């Protein structure tokens, strides 16, 4: 399955990525098209932003065109990459170099520090205007994210949702740190997808981190007919408990795909943390009972191919949960965003994408 676009009806558009199934140049051109439509402002919050010269030219040229047209461009990026990822707490590793890359673009930038990660991957276009739009999802702005990884992008045309993203960006930009950002209430917004209403809510951590973990687990616990998993990691204790309970009761179908190699690193780290020992057996039970398919990605190192199954997606009945937010305790404390979307058509589309990935990787052992 090549790069797949969701049907654009009014307010939502979805882009699915999978290893070897799209060209990075095509993704860069789609992002450049999004940038080219900016009229007043463009705010970029990015965890990892590094592109080879060909791709950099596509994006930098789009930015330059908008800057020449008078668009105010700002870029906030994560400042403190871990020397080695701590999978136990859900760290999403990235090599250094984003800072120098961002600064080379020549626009106002802010280095976002803190004890955790500025893990967002969103662009807000014209965030205080009625024609505002957002580009968000799991996809970093890197060659690997666009060619080697499974990711998703959600484009949203909504002034109200864009205003929430703009508020989060202002928190980051003004404070220059992760702590105390995203600490505000949001309301669901009714958009349209596939000619039908879609209720969309965004939440931000760390401000709403504990609420996100609780809400996700409660939504899963209340599933009536399906739970589909498409997630690099399954670290959250609340989510693991909810999934185990569902599988024990047998009320709904649970299936999906995860990154077996990266999850194995988590399990190994949990061996040294007594209070996490129960999670080891919980993960094994979920993988076995649900028949989860594991992608065997390359073990992480700064110089290895970063071919992770990088999505952070749950489909629960007719709801889609997606964003930058790994399902882990660390994500509660990072700067993250997560979307909760109620839309049967969108949930079915994500489910078909998950089916595709399961077929693609089903020749790999799931242990």
Instruction: Lay out the sheet containing 336-342: strands in order across.
Output: 189-193, 196-205, 336-342, 319-323, 312-316, 226-231, 253-259, 293-295
CATH value at residue 32: 3.30.870.10
Q: Does the residue 10 lie in any domain?
A: yes
pLDDT of residue 302: 79
The predicted structure's pLDDT at residue 115: 83
| Boundaries of domain holding 338 | 4-361
Question: Could you give the CA distance from residue 212 to residue 337 in angstroms, rounded to a whole number?
Answer: 10
Q: Which two tokens stand for residue 189?
A: 């917004």
Structural domain includes residue 367 = no
For residue 64, being part of any structural domain is answered with yes
Residue 107 resides in a domain: yes
- Does some domain include residue 108? yes
Using CA atoms, how far apart are residues 187 and 216, in angstroms rounded to an integer?
16
- What are 121's two structure tokens? 């991957």
- Count of domains for the chain: 1
What is the predicted pLDDT for the residue at 27? 98
126, part of any domain: yes
| Residue-wise pLDDT tens digits, 4-29 | 444 444 699 999 999 999 999 999 99
- Per-residue pLDDT tens over the stretch 79-134: 866 555 555 544 556 677 899 999 999 999 999 998 899 999 999 999 999 999 99
Question: Is 164 among the domain residues?
Answer: yes
pLDDT of residue 193: 95
Kindly report the number of other CB atoms within 10 A of residue 237's CB atom.
16
Q: Write out residues in the chain with pLDDT < 50, as ranges.
A: 1-9, 89-90, 365-367
Query: Is the distance from CB of 108 to CB of 172 less than 8 angstroms?
Result: no
CA separation for the pair 241, 254 (Å, rounded): 14
Please report whether residue 366 resides in a domain: no
- 336 touches 137 (CB < 8 A): no
Nearest to 9 by CA among 153, 201, 157: 157
Q: pTM to 2 decimals?
A: 0.93
């Amino acid at each position: 399955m090549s790069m797949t676009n969701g049907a654009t009806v009014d307010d939502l558009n979805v882009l699915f990525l999978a290893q070897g199934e799209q060209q990075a140049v095509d993704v860069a051109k789609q992002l450049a098209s999004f940038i080219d439509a900016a009229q007043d402002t463009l705010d970029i919050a990015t965890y990892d932003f590094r592109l080879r010269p060909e791709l950099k030219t596509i994006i930098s040229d789009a930015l330059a065109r908008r800057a020449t047209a008078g668009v105010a461009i700002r870029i906030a990026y994560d400042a403190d990459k871990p020397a080695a990822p701590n999978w136990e707490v859900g760290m999403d590793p990235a090599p250094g170099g984003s800072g120098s890359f961002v600064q080379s673009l020549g626009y106002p930038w802010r280095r976002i520090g803190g004890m955790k990660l500025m893990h967002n991957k969103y662009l807000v276009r014209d965030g205080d205007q009625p024609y505002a739009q957002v580009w968000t999802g799991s996809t970093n702005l890197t060659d690997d994210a666009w060619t080697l990884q499974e990711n998703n992008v959600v484009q949203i045309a909504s002034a109200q949702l864009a205003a929430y993203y703009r508020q989060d960006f202002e928190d980051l930009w003004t404070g220059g740190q992760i702590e105390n950002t995203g600490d505000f209430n949001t309301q669901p917004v009714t958009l349209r997808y596939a000619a039908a209403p879609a209720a969309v809510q965004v939440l931000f951590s760390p401000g709403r981190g504990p609420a996100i973990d609780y809400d996700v687990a409660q939504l899963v616990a209340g599933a009536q007919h399906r739970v589909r998993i498409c997630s690099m990691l399954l670290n959250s204790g609340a989510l693991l408990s909810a999934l185990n309970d569902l599988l024990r009761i047998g009320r709904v179908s649970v299936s999906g795909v995860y990154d077996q190699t990266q999850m194995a690193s988590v399990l190994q780290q949990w061996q040294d943390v007594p209070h996490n020992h129960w999670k080891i057996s919980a993960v094994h039970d979920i993988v076995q009972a649900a028949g989860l398919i594991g992608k065997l990605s390359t073990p992480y190192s700064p110089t290895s191919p970063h071919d992770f199954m990088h999505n952070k997606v749950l489909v629960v009945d007719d709801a889609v949960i997606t964003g930058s937010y790994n399902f882990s305790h660390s994500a509660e404390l990072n700067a993250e965003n997560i979307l909760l979307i109620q839309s049967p058509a969108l949930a079915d589309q994500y489910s078909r994408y998950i089916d595709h990935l399961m077929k693609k990787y089903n020749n790999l052992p799931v242990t």
